[in-house]
């Protein structure tokens, strides 16, 4: 029953409005038929409509799109609020309502926005369009494209201010859609529409919508409009509890009549929408243009192109002291490729011969021997391996270590024994060294290395290089206990000591918003950075830190291509 009464009240309002319009409208104003549209701002669903899709003259409601384009340009980084626009003769000669700008005068964009939104100044709206697109004609084409992107399919713009012109039209539905996008897409600027007055740089301006804002509880915008062809128009937004409505009225006969009709439509529509509903935000349009970005050309530094040194590098180890031997030194076997040319222990040589291993005696290679290198283990599971193991165990006490003055000797002495290479078939062709062989059963041949080689057939893979750098003196000196090594840890952000400064802001919240907005736009370059706000005496310095020099220069050039000031600094 309540819903029936509410619906009856809405239609009664519509039928009461139409006779008043018919009687009071003059023949000149007869081209402004009545139209109305009310929507639930939270979902975008219609609540009331009458001639909602009829193409009519929007008058100064056009400035809603002009302001939307200005907000969009500021957010995309093409202009700033303090950008100075030069007033052209065309803008200065626009008819009232106007701010009184002069040709050649320069004024900041923030003052033009205030004048267009609050005073509905035509000269300010034209200056905004010319400053953003270069000409009003190019700007109106962008306005129409943006209208299509927002879903305003029955709207076409021919100027930035809304004065009557052929081919310039819109609908009550489309203007309500535009008002909803202003509320959701730019909440940081929406409070501008609820101001009763503001400083426009050259003058203090009063709002054309202050009567409705003062008379209707919960009203917070948005824009009025009037021409003889359009009548008195209004797009309004009001909140009551958890509910918010956005409505548009075309074709009022006066300011008081338009405000009265709007109030009655809102009063009748609030009870028709639920108190709690799932909010469906409108989708934001795609960007109209993208700024050209130049890639920074940075010369590579030697530190970035040269490989990092190993943890312990011996450029030239001292020659080992060879033990005197009566007999010629036998050559190492294939299993002992890492042995040097120094003579082996006689007991070990005799044990190898008794085990059946053939021992060759090639000439020693000078300068390529390591007297104290450890012998690798033989392949398990064979008689030769067992015999070699027993011989090594017996001969080990007899082999006295040769003293060396190098500090690297303790490190090499404690290194692990390399494992023997797995069984592999001998490649066809001649070999340069002899191999171990048993007289009874020939084991699988072992691949040998060229004479004089110190490589191991199967060395374990190197461990990953850690971030710890060990500094140690590798010169000659005392063989006693070495001094404790100094361990230097490389910080995680080594090489990232550069930052991009966006300048000073008056508040920390403003600086944080600027950093977050730019991080979302350039996530490819700024995604690895950290946002930092330095509290200085002159203000809050917004910075992107933890960048390399190349990343900082590239990010700053991208910001400068969108007319955003920045500075690359080293921290």
Question: What one-character-per-residue DSSP string does 255-299 give?
Answer: HHHHHHHHHHHHHHHGGGS-SS----PPPPPPPS-----PPP--P
Out of 204, 238, 272, pick the residue that ends a domain: 272
- The H-assigned helical ranges of 93-231 are 109-114, 122-133, 136-150, 172-185, 187-190, 210-215
Task: Look up the CATH number of the domain holding residue 262.
Answer: 3.40.710.10
Interaxial angle between packed helices 122-133 and 136-150, expressed in degrees from 0 to 180 and rounded to the nearest 10: 90
Residue 262: how many other CB atoms lie within 10 Å: 23
What's the average pLDDT block by block, 10 residues per block, for the chain (571 residues)?
52 48 37 88 96 96 97 94 95 94 96 96 97 96 96 96 96 97 95 94 94 95 94 96 96 94 96 94 71 47 51 59 55 42 49 54 49 59 63 56 51 57 48 42 48 54 61 45 48 68 87 80 70 85 87 85 83 62
Q: CA 555 to CA 546: how far, in whole Å?
A: 13
Q: Nearest Cα to 462, choosing from 508, 418, 496?
A: 418
What phi and psi, each to the nearest 5 degrees, are found at residue 529? -90, 170
SS3 state of residue 167: coil
Tell me the pairing of strands 243-252 and 468-471.
unpaired
- As a whole number of Å, the end-to-end CA separation of the chain is 72
Q: State how far the Cα of 401 lies from the Cα of 392, in Å rounded to an integer.
A: 15
Q: 138: which 2 tokens?
A: 């190019």
Residue 366, in any domain of the structure: no
pLDDT of 258 reads: 96
Q: Can 63 be counted among the known catalytic residues?
A: yes
Number of domain units in the chain? 2
Strand partners, 40: 245
Contact 26, 253 (CB under 8 A): no
Residue 341 lies in a domain: no
Asked if residues 69 and 146 have their Cβ atoms less than 8 Å apart, the reply is yes
Domain boundary among 272, 290, 320: 272
Q: Please report whether residue 261 resides in a domain.
A: yes
- Asked if the structure places residue 413 within a domain, the reply is no
Catalytic: 60?
yes
Domain span at 41: 2-272
Last-in-domain residue among 272, 296, 311:
272
Q: How far apart are CA 279 and CA 45, in angstroms?
A: 11
Question: Is residue 219 included in any domain, yes or no?
Answer: yes
* Active-site option among 30, 89, 98, 120: 120
What are the DSSP calls for 416-477, one per residue?
PPPPPPPP-PPPSS--SS-----SSS-PPP-----TT----TTPPPPPPP-SEEEE---SB-
Q: Is the pTM of this model over 0.95?
A: no
SS3 169: strand
What's CA 94's distance to the chain center, in Å? 43
Residue among 77, 88, 184, 186 at smallest CA distance from 128: 88
What pLDDT does residue 520 have?
A: 72
Task: Assign residue 503 the CATH number of its domain.
Answer: 3.30.70.1070
Is residue 423 one of the residues assigned to a domain?
A: no
Q: Is residue 316 part of a domain?
A: no
Cα distances from 176 to residues 9, 43, 180, in angstroms, run 22, 13, 6
CB atoms within 10 A of CB 411: 13
- Residue 344 belongs to some domain of the structure: no
Mark whether 176 is an active-site residue.
no
Please give the pLDDT value at position 560: 83
Sign of CA dihedral 418, 419, 422, 425: positive
For 152-188, letters b (16+ CB in 10 Å) and e give bebbebbbbbbbbeeebbbbbbbbbbbbbbbbbbbee
Integer CA distances (angstroms), 450 to 218, 352, 361, 447, in order: 94, 22, 14, 10
How far, rounded to the nearest angstrom, does the alpha carbon of residue 434 sit from its chain's CA centroid? Answer: 64
Residue 381, pLDDT score: 55
Give phi and psi for 143, each to the nearest 5.
-60, -45
């Amino acid at each position: 029953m309540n819903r029936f009464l509410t619906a009856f009240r809405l239609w009664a309002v519509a039928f009461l409005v139409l006779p008043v319009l018919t009687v009071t409208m003059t023949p000149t104003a007869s081209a402004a038929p009545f139209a109305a549209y009310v929507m639930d701002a939270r979902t975008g669903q219609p609540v009331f409509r009458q001639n909602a899709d009829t193409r009519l003259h929007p008058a100064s409601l056009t400035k809603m799109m002009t302001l939307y384009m200005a907000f969009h340009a500021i957010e995309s980084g093409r202009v700033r609020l303090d950008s100075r626009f030069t007033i052209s003769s065309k803008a200065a000669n626009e008819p009232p309502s106007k701010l009184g700008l002069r040709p050649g005068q320069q004024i900041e964009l923030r003052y033009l926005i205030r004048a267009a939104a609050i005073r509905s100044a035509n000269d300010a709206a034209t200056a905004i369009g010319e400053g953003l697109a270069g000409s009003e004609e190019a700007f109106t084409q962008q306005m129409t494209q943006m209208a299509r992107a927002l879903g305003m399919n029955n709207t076409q713009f021919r100027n930035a201010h809304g004065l009557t012109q052929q081919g310039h039209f819109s609908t009550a539905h489309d203007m309500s859609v535009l008002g909803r996008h202003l509320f959701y897409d730019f909440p940081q600027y929406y409070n501008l529409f609820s101001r009763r007055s503001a400083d426009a740089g050259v003058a203090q301006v009063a709002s054309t919508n202050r009567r409705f804002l003062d008379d209707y509880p919960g009203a917070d915008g948005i824009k009025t409009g009037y021409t003889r062809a359009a009548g008195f128009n209004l797009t309004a937004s009001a909140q009551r509890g958890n509910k918010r409505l956005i409505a548009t009225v075309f074709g009022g006969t006066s300011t008081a009549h338009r405000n009265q009709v709007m109030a009655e439509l809102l009063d009748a529509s609030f009870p028709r929408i639920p108190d709690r509903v799932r909010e469906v935000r409108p989708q934001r349009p795609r960007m109209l243009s993208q700024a050209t970005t130049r890639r920074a050309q940075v010369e590579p530094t030697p530190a970035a192109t040269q490989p990092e040194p190993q943890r312990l590098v011996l450029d030239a180890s001292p020659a080992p002291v060879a033990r005197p031997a009566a007999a010629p030194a036998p050559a190492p076997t294939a299993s002992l490729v890492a042995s040097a040319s120094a003579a082996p222990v006689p007991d070990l040589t005799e044990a190898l011969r008794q085990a059946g291993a053939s021992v060759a005696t090639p000439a020693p290679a000078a300068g390529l021997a390591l007297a104290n290198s450890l012998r690798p283990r033989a392949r398990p599971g064979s008689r030769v391996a067992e015999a070699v193991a027993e011989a090594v165990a017996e001969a080990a006490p007899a082999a006295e270590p040769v003293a060396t003055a190098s500090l690297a000797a303790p490190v090499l002495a404690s290194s692990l024994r390399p494992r023997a290479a797995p069984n592999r078939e001998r490649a066809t062709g001649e070999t340069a060294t002899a191999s171990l062989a048993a007289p009874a059963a020939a084991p699988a041949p072992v691949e040998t290395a060229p004479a004089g080689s110190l490589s191991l057939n199967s060395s374990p893979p190197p461990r990953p290089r850690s971030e710890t750098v060990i500094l140690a003196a590798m010169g000659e000196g005392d063989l006693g206990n070495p001094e404790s090594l100094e361990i230097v840890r490389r910080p995680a952000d080594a090489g990232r000591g550069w930052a991009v400064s966006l300048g000073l802001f008056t508040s920390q919240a403003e600086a944080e918003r600027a950093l977050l907005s730019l991080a979302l736009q350039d996530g490819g370059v700024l995604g690895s950075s950290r946002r930092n706000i330095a509290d200085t005496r002159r203000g809050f310095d917004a910075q992107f830190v933890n960048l390399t020099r190349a990343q900082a220069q590239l990010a700053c050039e991208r910001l400068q291509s969108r007319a955003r000031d920045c500075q690359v600094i080293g921290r």
